[in-house]
Structure 1
């Protein structure tokens, strides 16, 4: 873009945009939030008034075609990502789209094609890439603090929360027709994208998944494996209807190991030569702000894409490979 500033419009100004992302658009240089959209007009108006946003809409096309808006943030559930992203790209406006990138890999592939055909820029909101903890982790890996990485083991478990699931109209995350595949599709993109960020595209991916509890219409238990270049093996386990929460990832190398959590605010721990080194970071007020800043820089032509559509597609394909097995 040759614009000096980005004037953002948010499509889907729901809960995720209240603190995690929305306010950050006004805190990044050369960036301003000027319009928001939600199908519920009253909620769109309320959001705009509370956040000091000049314009609000209940129709996405009207926001996309607003001449004062020159960049779009698609923050709807995944079902609508392809539609709104493609429309915005064809209108010549760059898009920052929430994760997971789309409802499925086929939709993500069409979004990649739309970006390539139109020349409009597209960034996927795998925002943990730009948080200090994961930047430090990548630095340690790049410096070979662990020697040669041999194995990555991830475990993510959490209890079934009946009070949340009871809100069926709001809890779209456990409706595969809207989310793509239950809580795995909502949370695993962050974890799998970090693997992609650290180790590159996997050579092969596989897995098993099933709806073990039958508490809702989505798989709640997943086991996934991947092989990365340099003989790095990954094993992941996800369970969303168990008794206790666990958020742990361990990277094991020939000279040491790293332990960290992806979602819980825990220190990054390096274990090497019998010594333990802890790296602690404060949680950002707006967790997406570092990524949004990089997206702004990319859209304005000042830096590379912080997470390309092609990378978002790889994550979608990894999730599908881990969940495409015969259900038991």
Structure 2
């Protein structure tokens, strides 16, 4: 009830069953810890509620498949809240890749990291693998893996290393992942709680490259085949979640197609599963 009072929410519940059984509620946003996503999504589906679920989709891709099946069987929509798909510059990057602005995409390089200590915060649950599913690969890595799947297509092969370089945690503090996509494009991804550097993304092609020095700022750079750099500013919405939520409502109303349905949101979960398995078994893993 504290949040209800703080944000002026007209209706709140002391038990989740009250929400499921409220006939006035058409859709829910599941933003509980990762370990509860599958249970809450499937229960919402059984009660006829459309679901927008936080990322990563679930503790593993197998649970994600069950979530997709439950929503399909009960005739409700399932969206995964990878809100960065709605950043104007990410949509422009995807458009340019598909239009051949950099020729054929050959290699991508991405880093999502920060010097982060969650131990004494309300997000300490991120350090409990039974609740979060893993460390930075699950938390921030899922975002960048989703963006790579969004722009480059379905992943085919994964190789990874994980470890605890600075922080002795029950989850990894650093992960490095190599991914090959169906197009043949390769990508390297670094996700860490123990490195400075922010969140960069570069995609190199046969006729140029696309660069984001920060995924969060409005700047997108296109370097053409002649080496000339073109700089564009495409600001995101002041509230990064609003475009995603508005579009999900339009999906429910039959006016639009949501950019990250469950069938696509699961792609990054498959890569993460494969990455953890690759790190443990020290070999390539197919996420398909």
Q: What is residue 63 of structure 1 aligned with on the other side?
A: 19
Work out the CA distance in 2 between the residues paired with 1:310 and 1:262. 28
Q: What is residue 16 of structure 1 aligned with on the other side?
A: none
Work out the CA distance in 2 between the residues paired with 1:90 and 1:157. 37
Alignment of 1:226-241 (within 5 A): 226-241=179-194
Q: What is residue 173 of structure 2 aligned with on the other side?
A: 220
Work out the CA distance in 2 between the residues paired with 1:156 and 1:52. 34
1:53 is displaced (CA, Å) by 1.8
| 2:136 paired with 1:183 | yes
Match among 31, 49, 71 for residue 93 of structure 1: 49
Work out the CA distance in 2 between the residues paired with 1:238 and 1:311. 21
Work out the CA distance in 2 between the residues paired with 1:262 and 1:83. 35
Work out the CA distance in 1 between the residues paired with 2:23 and 2:2. 23
Q: What is residue 310 of structure 1 aligned with on the other side?
A: 263
Change (3 A) 1:72 1:160: closer
Q: What is residue 127 of structure 1 aligned with on the other side?
A: 83
1:224 is displaced (CA, Å) by 0.8
1:123 is displaced (CA, Å) by 0.6
Match among 120, 124, 135 for residue 166 of structure 1: 120
Work out the CA distance in 1 between the residues paired with 2:214 and 2:13. 35
Work out the CA distance in 2 between the residues paired with 1:71 and 1:116. 15
| 2:202 paired with 1:250 | yes
Contact kept, 8 Å, 1:247 with 1:262, in 2: the verdict is yes
- Is the partner of 2:79 in helix, strand or coil? strand
Work out the CA distance in 2 between the residues paired with 1:212 and 1:311. 32
Work out the CA distance in 2 between the residues paired with 1:286 and 1:115. 28
Moved more, 278-287 or 142-151: 278-287
Contact kept, 8 Å, 1:115 with 1:122, in 2: the verdict is yes
Q: Once superposed, what is the RMSD of the aligned Cα atoms?
A: 1.9
1:316 is displaced (CA, Å) by 0.5
1:213 is displaced (CA, Å) by 3.0
CA deviation profile, 1:188-220 (whole Å, cap 9, x unmatched): 121111111112111222212122334221011
| 2:242 paired with 1:289 | yes
Match among 123, 147, 150 for residue 197 of structure 1: 150
Q: What is residue 323 of structure 1 aligned with on the other side?
A: 276
TM-score, length basis structure 1 = 0.80
Contact kept, 8 Å, 2:201 with 2:215, in 1: the verdict is no
Contact kept, 8 Å, 1:77 with 1:179, in 2: the verdict is yes
Alignment of 1:265-276 (within 5 A): 265=217, 267-272=219-224, 273-276=226-229
Work out the CA distance in 2 between the residues paired with 1:72 and 1:238. 30
1:92 is displaced (CA, Å) by 0.8
- Is the partner of 2:183 in helix, strand or coil? helix
- Is the partner of 1:134 in helix, strand or coil? helix
1:327 is displaced (CA, Å) by 8.0
1:262 is displaced (CA, Å) by 5.7
- Is the partner of 2:140 in helix, strand or coil? helix
CA deviation profile, 1:230-280 (whole Å, cap 9, x unmatched): 3211111223213x3242211001111111156442511111122111122
Contact kept, 8 Å, 2:107 with 2:204, in 1: the verdict is yes
